[in-house]
Amino acid sequence: MSKTPFVVAEYVRWGDIDLAGIICYGAYIRFYELAETEIFRACGLPFREMFERYDIWLPRKIMHTEFYRPARLDDRLEVVTYFSRVGESSLTINFDVLDASGLSLHAAAYQVVVCVSRQTFVKVPLPAGVVQAVERYVMDSETAREAGRRWLDAQRGQPTR
C-alpha cells in the first residue's frame, strides 16, 4: 500500500495578513496547528480522547519554518502533513504549505513534539497505540511531497504530473 500524506485546506483570512496584504510569518502557525489537530483526528486520535486515554500531553520542543513565497488574503492553501520521524518519546511532524494548484511552495516546516506525563510533565515513551495509529502517515519528505502533489492533482481531476 502506498502512503499518502494528510492534506487540509484553509484560506488566508483577514487576521492572517499585514498592511502589505500578505500573510504574516506567525500566521503560518495557525495553519500548522489546524493540520496537526486534523492529522491526529484522521489517525483516530482526537486530542481530547488521546490525552485522556493515554494520560499524556504532546508539547512542542522545536518549531522550524522556512518561507518561500508570500500568500495573500483569500488564497486557498493546502497543508500537506506527515510524520517524518517517530522516536521513543517524540514525533516529528512536517508541514508543506502549497498554493491551491499544488505547484508553489509557500512554506515548509517541521515541529518536534515530546510525549510527557500529564501529571508531572516528565518525558515518557510514546504509547504503542499512538505509534501504531500514526504509522500510516510516516514517510520521508520526498515521498510525501510527491504523493501530496498526486493527491492534489486527483482532487482537481488533473493527470498526474
Domain assignment of residue 68, given as a range = 6-153
Instruction: Give this prediction's pTM.
Output: 0.91
- The pLDDT of residue 142 is 85
Residue 29, SS3 per DSSP = helix
C-alpha 78/C-alpha 152 separation (Å) is: 9
Q: Could you report the per-residue pLDDT of 44-79, keeping only the tens digit for each?
A: 999 999 999 999 999 999 999 999 999 999 999 999
Residue 68 lies in a domain: yes
Residue 43 lies in a domain: yes
- The pLDDT of residue 83 is 98
Chain centre distance of CA 140? 13
- Name the residue among 110, 140, 112 with its Cα closest to residue 126: 112
Residue 1 lies in a domain: no
* DSSP H helices in 70-140: 128-134
pLDDT at residue 104 tops 80:
yes
Residue 138: give its domain's CATH number. 3.10.129.10
Q: How many domains does the chain have?
A: 1
Q: Could you report the per-residue pLDDT of 121-158, keeping only the tens digit for each?
A: 999 999 999 999 999 999 998 888 787 777 777 777 76
Residue 67 lies in a domain: yes
